[in-house]
Structure 1
Amino acid sequence: MEAEAAKYIGAGLATLGMIGAGIGVGTLFSGFLQGATRNPSAAGGQFTNLILGAALTEALGILAFVLGLLILFS
């Protein structure tokens, strides 16, 4: 009984990394939009960096989610 409760607690704690991914993506797009409104001519050159950063940040969130599922169902 206690082992099952510990699995639920561990899975919940492991998925807290998804909060960081959400904050990170919000910060990325916020910074990009602020920079693009100040200097629109440079926005096109930075768009690739924005997408790459968002993809890597989301990958960490997905990794946290998968880790939580592994803890829960192992």
Structure 2
Amino acid sequence: MFSEEGYEKTYEWALRLIKEYPNCNMLIWQTAVMLDARRITDKCTNQEKYDKQINAWYELALHDENEEIQHHVLKI
């Protein structure tokens, strides 16, 4: 999707997906990692625009009751 649609459209799709599944912290964590990595490695303009939301997703996943998810977040 990044290649075909670009970062902004992929980010918007991710926002909609997480709104649909707001309690799935594994999805939220994986989405944050994916967007964060692409934001850094690709030519994403205005990277700071996405910082607050991506960090909020990491924070949410960090406080999940599932220790496996917490562990994944802490490894970042």
Q: Same fold (TM over 0.5)?
A: no
Task: Sort the TM-score into its range (normalised by shorter chain).
Answer: 0.3 to 0.5
Larger relative contact order (Cα-Cα within 8 Å, sequence gap ≥ 6): 1
Q: Which has the larger radius of gyration?
A: 1
More helix by share: 1
TM-score, structure 1 as length reference: 0.38
TM-score (norm 2): 0.38
